[in-house]
Amino acid sequence: MTIVSTTQAVPAGADARAASLYRAVWRWHFYAGLLTLPFLILLAVTGGLYLFRTEIDGLIHRDLKRVEIRSTVPTPATTLVANALAAFPGKAVKLVPAATASSAAEVTVRDAAGGRKVVHVDPYDGRVLGQIPDKGTVMWVVRQIHSLAYFGPIANGVIEIAGGWSILLVGTGLYLWWPRGRKGGVVSLRGDAGKRVFWRDLHAVTGAFAGFFIVFLAITGMPWSVLWGDQVNRWANGHNFGYPAGIRVNLPMSDEHLHHAGPTSWSLEQARVPESIATAAAPVSLDTAVARFDALGLARGYAINLPAGPSGVFTGSVYPNDLSQQRVIHLDQYSGEPLLDMSFADYGPLGKWLEWGINVHLGQEFGLANQLFMLAVCLAIVLLSVSAGVMWWKRRPAGSLGVPPLPPERRTLYGVFAILAVGGLIFPLVGVSLIVMLVVDRCFWPKTAR
C-alpha cells in the first residue's frame, strides 16, 4: 500500500487542529468505502430487485402461480394435497391455500431424500400445475445472493461487517460534507462530468440526502445478520419459550421452533411450538383445520404447517404487508381447538419496532410508494458507489492506492477511531474489522511519520 502526500481540499479557514481532524475523518471514510462499496452495490442491486419480488415471481412463474378465475366451488384441501402427492410422491409438510381468486394453492412436499419441492395446484379443479424446488423461485435466489447465504456463514458475516461499516461510512461522510461556510457542493453540483469536483459534489450531495435512509436500511437489515442478528434475536426472545413478553402459556412445549418449519417473522424465530395432547380420538382432517383457521379470521395468504408426529400441531401463520394482520395460531390436531393465538399486538416493544423496520426495509409497509422510495435509495447507493470510484480514480496518483494523507496531528486518527469504536462495540464483527484496519493503517505509515 502506497501512502500519498497529495493534499485534500481542506475547508478554507480551517485551523491546524480542524484540518488534522478533517484529514483523519477523511482517511477513515476512505477505509470504510474501500471495505464496503463493492458489497453496497451488491446489496443495492439485489435489494432493489427484491422489493418487487411478488411482481417479478408472479410474472416469471405465472404458469404455476396464476389460474383462471371460475365460479365453481374450490377443491377441498385434502384433495389438493392428495393430488400433489400423486404427482410428486413424498410427505406433505405445508399447505398454502389460494390467497386470491386467481392464485394457485401450494403444497410443500418432502421426498424420501429429504429434499423439498413446492407443488402448485389449481384450487378449482385440483389439477397439478407443476413444481418448483422449495426456495427455488427467482426471487429466493436473489435473496440468497443479497445475504451471500449461498457461500456460507463466513460470507454472511462479511455482509454483516459491510452493513456496520456503511453506518460509519455515512457518519464520516456527513462530517466531510458539512458546509463550514462553503456554498458549492452542499446542495448543488459544480463543474462538468469531466472534472473531479463534479463527481465529488455528486457524491457528497447524494450522500447528504440519502445518508439517513442508508443507515435505516443498514440497521433494519442487521436482524438477519449471522452474529449480531442471531444473538439479539435470542436475547429479545430468550424468555417464555421465545414468545414476546406478555404471552403466558401453560402448555406442553416441543423442542421445535417456528423458523425450523419455514419463514416466519423475526420476532418469532425462537418461538417454540406447543404440543397436541394425545387422546383416543382420531386427528381432525386438514379440511377441518382449514375451516377452523378461516373461522378464526386468519388473513388469506396464510400457510399451514402440518402436524409432525402424534404430538404435532396444525400451525397457521400469515405475515402480510399489513402488520396488524400478522398472526400465528396453533391448533391441537385432535380437538381442532387453538392452543395459542398470537398477533402483532402481542409483540413486545422491541419486536414491534423491529418488525415495522423490517416491513419498511422490504418495501411492504406503505405499498407501492414504499417500494418506489426504497428503490430510489438503492439507486442512490449505486450512484454513491460509482461516484466514489470515479472520484478516487481521478485523484489517485499512478501506481498507488491513493490512501488519503496522514493528518499533521496523529492523535486525531486515534480520536476518530475511538468514536468509530462505539459502533464496533455494538456490532462485534465490525469491531474486529476496525482493529484489523487500525493495525494495517499503522503498519503502512511512512517511517518518517513515526
DSSP string, 45-110: HHHHHHTTHHHHHHHHTHHHHB----SSPPPPHHHHHHHHHHHS-SEEEEEE--SSTTBPEEEEEE
Phi, psi angle pair for 191, to nearest 5°? 75, -170
Residues 148 and 46 in one domain: yes
Structural domains in the chain (count): 3
Query: In this structure, is residue 239 part of a structural domain?
Result: no
The answer to whether residue 205 sits within a structural domain is yes
* pLDDT value for 382: 97
Assigned domain for 240 exists: no
Q: What is the pTM of this model?
A: 0.86
Residue 241 lies in a domain: no
Clarify whether residues 259 and 311 are in a common domain: yes
Question: Which three three-digit cell numbers place residue 276?
Answer: 397436541
Is residue 372 included in any domain, yes or no?
Answer: yes
Identify whether 9 is part of a domain. no
39 plus 160 within the same structural domain: yes
Q: Which of 90, 107, 134 is the last residue before a domain boundary? A: 134
Whether 7 maps to a domain, the answer reads no
Residues 259 and 337 in one domain: yes
Q: Are residues 44 and 179 in the same domain?
A: yes
Tell me whether residue 231 is in a domain: no
Specify the residue for cell string 422491541.
350
Q: Are residues 197 and 278 in the same domain?
A: no
Same domain for 160 and 45? yes
Q: What share of the chain is helix, strand, coil (3-state, %, to 5)?
A: 55, 15, 35
pLDDT of residue 410: 77
| CA neighbor of 254 nearest in space, from 275, 237, 277, 238 | 275
- For residues 232 and 223, the answer to whether their CB atoms sit within 8 Å is yes
Query: For residue 101, what are the domain limits?
Result: 67-134
Same domain, 22 and 156: yes
Tell me the DSSP string of 346-409: GS-HHHHHHHHHHHHHTT-TTHHHHHHHHHHHHHHHHHHHHHHHHHHHHHSPTTS--BPPPPSS
Are both 130 and 160 inside the same structural domain?
Answer: no
For residue 449, the model assigns a pLDDT of 43
266 and 311 fall within a common domain: yes
Which of the listed residues 347, 381, 412 is the one where a domain comes to its end?
Answer: 347
Question: What does the alpha-carbon distance between residue 322 and residue 319 come to, in Å, rounded to a whole number?
Answer: 8
Task: Please give the chain's pLDDT, 450 residues, in tens.
Answer: 333 434 445 555 457 788 889 989 999 999 999 889 999 999 999 999 999 999 999 999 999 999 999 999 999 999 999 999 999 999 999 999 999 999 999 999 999 999 999 999 999 999 999 999 998 999 999 999 998 888 888 888 888 899 999 999 999 999 999 988 777 788 888 888 878 889 999 999 999 999 999 999 999 998 888 788 777 777 766 554 455 554 545 566 666 667 666 667 666 766 777 888 877 688 999 999 999 999 999 999 999 999 988 889 999 999 888 899 999 999 999 999 998 888 888 887 777 888 899 999 999 999 999 999 999 999 999 999 999 999 888 888 777 788 888 888 878 888 888 888 888 888 889 999 999 988 888 887 664 344
Instruction: Say if residue 259 is in the same domain as residue 305.
Output: yes
Tell me if 404 sits within 8 A of 8, measured CB to CB: yes
**In Å, what is the CA distance from 58 to each residue of 52, 106, 139, 320, 365?**
10, 14, 10, 16, 20
User: Sign of the C-alpha dihedral, residues 261, 267, 272, 277?
Assistant: negative
Pairing state of beta strands 313-318 and 327-332? Answer: antiparallel
Last residue of a domain, one of 134, 161, 183: 134
CATH code for position 77: 3.10.450.40
270 plus 296 within the same structural domain: yes
